[in-house]
Amino acid sequence: MKPLIKKLVESYGPSGHEDQIRDLIRGEIKGLADYVTVDPLGNLIAVIKKKSKSGRKVMLAAHMDEIGVIATHVDAKGFVRFLPIGGVSALTCLGGRVRFADGTLGVIGIEDRKINSPSLDQMFIDVGATGAGDCPVKVGAAAGFYRPFEEVGSRLVAKSMDDRVGCAVLIEVMRGLKRTPHEVQFAFTVQEEVGTRGAGPSAFGLEPDLALAVDVTLTGDTPKANKMAVSLGAGAAIKVRDSGMLADPRLVALLEQRAAEARLPVQREVLEGGSTDARSIQIARAGVPAGCVSIPCRHIHTPSEMVDLRDVEGAVALILQTLEKPIEL
Ligand code: CO
Ligand code: ZN
């Protein structure tokens, strides 16, 4: 899975600008689904049709978009001011590199290096221009963070593990799915980082009987972390609650049962703050039973998000195990 994850995380795609990452995923899933479409908002939908009458319509969602920045103003010297796209902390920005859709690279600088608690409005992007005239960045242009993928033992480090690692899980599930009674609807969604905007409309169109989002979650295993019973490397996490959703208890029970049958280590996740596409899917149409398979991840929303490959592979195995058998809720 590592080469796939590397390709996905190194690709460009801040919220609202998912064309490049969508084309990449489209290439990866070629021939794996009965049909593939792009819906009006840009969500990439791939469907494996139902094989048996007793099968359900199961939606799996992972978001293609990533956090980033959007240019608000270019000054006379060619420095670019910006707003965040999604949850970007100024603490992670100084000296960081961003890349625009056309490949333009910029470095984030700050007005006063002695500031203790920097804010984004004191920062600017330096693209190496000498003035507004030769600055290639237009107001409204969006950039993603730029950082190569690295391996540290079984840990993988990159920008945009949130949620390209979820996209990789969906792709691996498509590749590994040998037999299922269900219709499986794979949704690679847009605009999650700006408020799970893509997933709801995609669920409205797909009318699933149940849905699982696949996304990253925080861990409680770093110094002075919030108390949280999720650790890196201890298995995929089954979401029970986050600040946007209470997972359907029947889905939590189903996932735990399938994990036990396959002897897969899993952890229960209760996340204090943050949410996923599942929250929008759950309240789409007349409502959808929804849950989430989470990948434990350290340093979320920094350019160095860290996951453990064993947790990622565990998530793939858990979802395959769940899809291969009948589902009674
Ligand atoms: Co995120
Ligand atoms: Zn995410």
Give the predicted TM-score (pTM) of the model. 0.98
Residue 196 Cα to ligand 1 middle (Å): 10
pLDDT at 201: 98
Contacts 24+ apart (CB under 8 A), 145-153: 145/66, 145/67, 145/68, 145/96, 145/97, 145/98, 145/99, 145/303, 146/97, 146/98, 146/99, 146/105, 146/303, 147/96, 147/97, 147/303, 147/304, 148/10, 149/5, 149/6, 149/9, 149/10, 151/2, 152/306
Please compute the mean of the pLDDT values over residues 259-273 and round it to a whole number.
97
Residue 64 Cα to ligand 2 middle (Å): 9
Q: CA–CA separation, 157 vs 151, rounded Å?
A: 6
Q: Is the pLDDT of residue 116 over 90?
A: no
pLDDT averaged over every residue in the chain: 97
Residue 87 Cα to ligand 2 middle (Å): 10
Assign residue 195 a region: left if phi > 0, alpha if psi is -120 to 50, beta otherwise?
left
Give the environment of ion ligand 2: residues with CB less than 5 A.
162-163, 215
Residue 298 Cα to ligand 2 middle (Å): 13
Residue 216 Cα to ligand 2 middle (Å): 6
pLDDT at 326: 96
Q: CA–CA separation, 77 vs 94, rounded Å?
A: 19
pLDDT band for 24, please (50, 70, 90 cuts): very high
pLDDT at 311: 98
Q: Is the pLDDT of residue 273 over 90?
A: yes
Residue 326 Cα to ligand 2 middle (Å): 29
Please compute the mean of the pLDDT values over residues 289-315 and round it to a whole number.
98
Q: Dump pLDDT digits (tens) for 79-106.
A: 999 999 999 999 999 999 999 999 999 9
Residue 286 Cα to ligand 1 middle (Å): 26
Q: Is the pLDDT of residue 115 over 90?
A: no
Ligand number nearest CA of 277 is: 2
User: Catalytic residue numbers?
Assistant: 192
Tokens 């999720």 found at: 230
Tell me the pairing of strands 183-189 and 57-63.
Answer: parallel
